[in-house]
A and B are shown apart, each in its own frame.
Chain A
């Protein structure tokens, strides 16, 4: 038997992830995409816990959730560091001062 509250919560989080995917695909700057990817990753941690309760193997899915949280944090930091060294090409589309010779 599946807990109806847990099932509803999992479906709600899945729909919220789909809504956040809009910003990931059509975001005007690359930073919008990074923020959206970070947000979807955080929601995935919660979704993994929901799935663990639904399948009654929470002790297994907790480890996956820990690994996913760490990976999500590292991914965001790595993307931020990368674009600090190498400014994105679409930065000028968002009203930036692209021609001022920033490194």
Chain B
């Protein structure tokens, strides 16, 4: 049972990673690429890491629970840090003066 749940979580995370990479390659300018990369990347990695935590909880021994707690800390850290990093890059790009793309322009 717990094996099935962790498998589904990991597969969903890989799917979100794939969406993020497609967005990173296909969108026309920096801000739209960041829109694809930032959100799907943080959600996908949180899903995958939570799936591994459940996978480690399959055997309920003390080391396995410790490993699961560590993996949950990774998930918590990514959930806070990834949007922070995205925000910092966006702020830098705005202050340097990268202009947003408008409809009809050439993609860059």
Q: Which residues of A contact B (CB under 8 A)?
A: 5, 9, 12-13, 16, 19-20, 22-23, 28-29, 31-32, 34-36, 38-39, 42-43, 45-46, 49, 53, 58-59, 62-63, 65-66, 69-70, 73, 76-77, 80-81, 83-84, 87-88, 91, 94-98, 100, 102
Q: Looking across the interface, which residue of chain A has its beta carbon closest to that of B85?
A: A76
Check if A80 sits within 8 Å of B92, measured CB to CB.
yes
Most buried by B among A84, A97, A102: A84
Check if A35 sits within 8 Å of B96, measured CB to CB.
no
Check if A66 sits within 8 Å of B73, measured CB to CB.
yes
In the assembled complex, which residues on chain A have CB atoms less than 8 Å from the CB atom of B108? 28, 94-95
Check if A45 sits within 8 Å of B49, measured CB to CB.
yes
Q: A42-B78, A53-B55 known; A62 and B29 CB under 8 Å? A: no
Our count of residue pairs bridging A and B at CB distance below 8 angstroms stands at 150
Kindly state the separation between the CA atoms of A87 and B7 in the bound complex, as whole angstroms.
Answer: 44
Q: How far is the CB of A52 from chain B (nearest CB, A)?
A: 8
A-B contact pairs, 24 of them (CB 8 A): A12-B14, A16-B18, A31-B89, A32-B33, A34-B89, A35-B24, A35-B33, A35-B34, A35-B89, A38-B37, A38-B86, A42-B42, A42-B82, A45-B78, A46-B44, A59-B66, A62-B71, A73-B81, A76-B88, A84-B92, A87-B97, A94-B98, A95-B105, A96-B97
Q: Looking across the interface, which residue of chain A has its beta carbon closest to that of B29?
A: A94
Q: Looking across the interface, which residue of chain A has its beta carbon closest to that of B105?
A: A95
Secondary structure of the A contact surface, majority rule: helix
